[in-house]
Structure 1
Amino acid sequence: MDRRIKTAAAACLLLAAGLVTGCTAGSSSASDSAAPDRSASPTRAARGGAGGAAAGEAAVRAAYRKWGLEPLAAPPAPPSTKPAGRRAADGGVPVISEIPTEQKIVFLTFDDGAEKDPRFVTMMRELKIPFTMFLTDAAIRADYGYFKPLQELGAGVQNHTLTHPNMRTLSAAAQKQEICGQQQKLKEHYGNVPRLFRPPYGNYNEDTRAAAASCGIESIVLWRESMQIKNMQYQRGDRKLHPGDVILAHFRGPSELKGTTMTEMTANLLRHIQEQGYTVARLEDYL
């Protein structure tokens, strides 16, 4: 690889690690809840030219090596205009499983909140992987505080109902209570009103869409792949990732993962993404 390209890539890896504030035009840059200064050059950002960039790249590689991984490529800068999330053709809340893009990026989402492994917080802090949490109150109420450090790292906090019911089995009024009630709970504990909603089991109907709209939800988010323990389940016959796919995982621990920890499951997931030539972007930057 050309040395200049390697230097720019190293600066972007620094950005992904949260150590610098921008990349030059033509290189990729990471996104977080706070927009970085994308006008910064690699030299200025690294505060030491190629030597500083190389040191930062080494630090990133060391963090990934700790978890048995190779570094993912830095994601591209998010688009100036979000390509998804607008009202559906019928005027209702859109239902989305992937984001329209030609970039080789995917989006990670973790559901429920039952498992509260402190090593997962450490892993996400060290790897700087963007992801979104769809939280259920019944699963998180025993320890709301566990998810705050993840939120501080930039993870989105989104709605996954109060009690995790099959929405199709509920009346319109009961669906509204499940969604609006969780909007209030999440605002109370995390300070923001979610824009996104995921129905448990991916089950919804027109009452769900109407209830979501009445509660301030902008998009219903489903998925294209779901992570199990070591492998992913694919919805498409080619059993491959596609640009813009939303991937479903869960806050699960050894009791549900046959002895595998949540961090081991997440490492397996990241390997699948890298092996197929993809990297991870932040869902809320596109939706």
Structure 2
Amino acid sequence: MQLVRQKEESAARRMNQTRAVVAVLTAAAIASGCASGDGSDAVRPAHGQQPLKAPPARALDSYAQQLGAAQAARVAAAKRWRLAKTPLAAPAPPRTKPRLTTRKGFEVKGQAKLPPVFTTIPTRQKVVFLTIDDGAEKDPALLRMMSDLKIPYTAFLSDYLVKEDYAYFKKMQSRGVTLNNHTLNHRYMPGLSYEGQRREICGMQDTIEKHYGKRPELFRPPYGNYNEDTLRAAKSCGIKAVPLWNSEVFADRMEYREWDRDLHPGDIILTHFRGREDWKGTMPDMVRRLMKTVTDKGYAVARLEDYL
């Protein structure tokens, strides 16, 4: 009887130790943005990986090891790519998607029946969304860096630049990046007729479907300029939403739309496929600038499509 009691006490101690490890790791995950803000028990350690779910007590040790390994991988990747800090992991996306409406002051005639135009996703989670426009620079290091760091982003492509190397963006798509519409030739849309705008938008829909297998539902007008005809044409081409941006990141700085020159929960961040010919740095330099700013302010980069 004494031996049985000793074995039971020993097993209880091991279980308590395991629970303590899980508690510490889970607390660290929450602090780094891993915990869901909607009450879910799912933990999403990084883009492209399945959420980790708290298991029954018998599997707590394995769960603790998964959390620890995910955090160790983030730390190691941050060191390899010379980030100032380890990026915070995005929380699990909301089960119920936010309702998207056009930002005040961005409306056009008949807006209620047209795709919404917005610069921020409604959310209380400390997340921001990275979007990259055009397609001029095709830096292989960007693909490796973003995959290694598990940083999600969304591309808005213009065919006159993309057609130089469709395969580059196919590799990007294979790594989980959604490829969206930024028109065929990056024209100033309000300067075109309705039919001219429709050719630019629908033509890019056809091009993306031909090369990448799917017609986009997101459209960003060049320079952020649009009118009623732009949104009417976009809707006729199958576009559901028009994300603009609330801040922009370069290799050497951040620029902001708002008066407080700061980030806000749900902000969409713009950058471009650019290199040293246009910037004071490379695309990896841009990512380092972005992640330092975002991480210092306590934000994680989340996947835009998870909130739409």
TM category (shorter chain) comes to 0.7 to 0.9
One-letter identity of the residue aligned with 1:192:
K
SS in 1 for 2:264: coil
Q: Rate the CA distance shift 1:271–1:45 in 2: closer, same or farther, 3 A.
A: farther
**Contact 2:42-2:51 within 8 A present in 1 as well:** no
> Which of 204, 212, 221 is the aligned partner of 1:182?
204
Q: How does 1:255-266 map to 2 (within 5 A)?
A: 255-258=277-280, 260-266=281-287
Instruction: Tell me how large the CA RMSD over aligned residues is.
Output: 2.8
d(CA) in 2 for partners of 1:188 and 1:119? 26
- Quote the Cα distance in structure 2 between the aligned partners of 1:199 and 1:173: 15
Pairwise CA distance, 1:148: 1.6
AA at the equivalent of 1:204: Y
Among the aligned pairs, what percent are the same residue?
A: 47
Deviations 1:117-150 (A, max 9, x none): 0000100110111110001001110100101222
**Aligned equivalent of 1:282:** 303
Q: Which residue of 2 aligns with 1:80?
A: 95
Deviations 1:156-191 (A, max 9, x none): 111000000110111100000000000010011111
Output the CA distance in 2 between the equivalents of 1:42 and 1:160.
Answer: 47
| CA deviations over 1:216-235 (Å, ceiling 9, x no partner) | 00011110001122211111
Letter in 2 for 1:262: M
CA apart distance, 1:93: 1.1
User: SS in structure 1 opposite 2:112?
Assistant: coil
State the distance in 2 between where 1:9 and 1:94 align.
37
Are 2:76 and 1:62 equivalent residues in the alignment? yes
Q: Larger radius of gyration, structure 1 or 2?
A: 2
Unpaired stretches in structure 1, ≥5 consecutive residues = 17-23
Distance in 2 (alpha carbons) for counterparts of 1:85 and 1:103: 16
User: Is the 1:105–1:243 contact (alpha carbons within 8 Å) kept by the matching residues of 2?
Assistant: yes
TM-score, scaled relative to structure 2: 0.81
- Contact in 1 for aligned 2:250/2:289 (Cα 8 Å): no
The answer for unaligned runs of 5 or more in structure 2 is 1-19
Pairing partner for 2:161 from 116, 139, 143: 139
TM-score (norm 1): 0.87
Work out the number of aligned pairs and report it: 276
Cα shift at 1:78: 1.2
Offset, 1:102? 0.9
**CA-to-aligned-CA distance 1:224-251 (integer Å, 9 cap, x gap):** 0011222111111111100100000011
